[in-house]
Amino acid sequence: MSAFDASPEVGPEVGPDVVVDARGLRCPLPVIRLAQSARDAVSGAVIEVLATDPAARADIPAWCRLRGQDYLGSQPRGTGGEHTAYRVRVARTNQTDQTDNTDSTVSGSEPGRRTSAAQAPPQR
């Protein structure tokens, strides 16, 4: 089911917590704006993205799958359906998603040298 009005908990009578107006923006900007809003939102918040870019139809659900967010569906909006509203429930925020970059591991190639987990030692 793709229309979020079929879900009683996030239907049209229940307004979103955040509205991202990405109308007129082309790929990848609607998803970038969604990501920025999700980073600042609390877990459980519903974000509605208004977009005219047809690529958002695939991009927003894909971003949700990759980032562990809940895609709630889409619904045409405007008098002639000139834009679409996409709803996403924030399952995780950036604060719960981050790892502590101050942790370090000892590199096996150079005893005693510490590198962050994000920096892999060069292959020899």
- The per-residue DSSP string of 23-35 comes to TTPPTTHHHHHHH
Q: Which of 18, 19, 27, 45 is catalytic?
A: 27
Kindly list the domain boundaries of the chain, sorted by start residue: 4-95
Strands 46-51 and 83-89, bridge-based pairing: antiparallel
Q: How confident is the model at residue 35 (pLDDT cuts 50, 70, 90)?
A: very high
**What pLDDT is attached to residue 113?**
42
Whole-number Å distance between alpha carbons of 116 and 100 = 10
Nearest residue to 17 (alpha-carbon basis) of 40, 39, 48, 43: 48
**What does CATH list as the number for 4-95?**
3.30.110.40
Mean of the per-residue pLDDT values for the chain? 78
To the query of whether residue 64 is one of the catalytic residues in this protein, the response is no
**What pLDDT is attached to residue 54?**
96
Q: How confident is the model at residue 94 (pLDDT cuts 50, 70, 90)?
A: low
Higher pLDDT, 123 or 45: 45
**H or E, element range at 61:** helix 56-67
- Cβ atoms of residues 47 and 31 within 8 Å: no
Residue 19 confidence (pLDDT) above 80: yes
How much is the average pLDDT of 63-82? 94
**What pLDDT is attached to residue 102?**
39
Task: Give ∠ CA 52-53-56 in degrees, rounded to 5.
Answer: 110
Low-confidence winner among 63-67, 70-74, 79-83 (lowest mean pLDDT): 79-83
Low-confidence winner among 5-14, 105-114, 115-124 (lowest mean pLDDT): 105-114
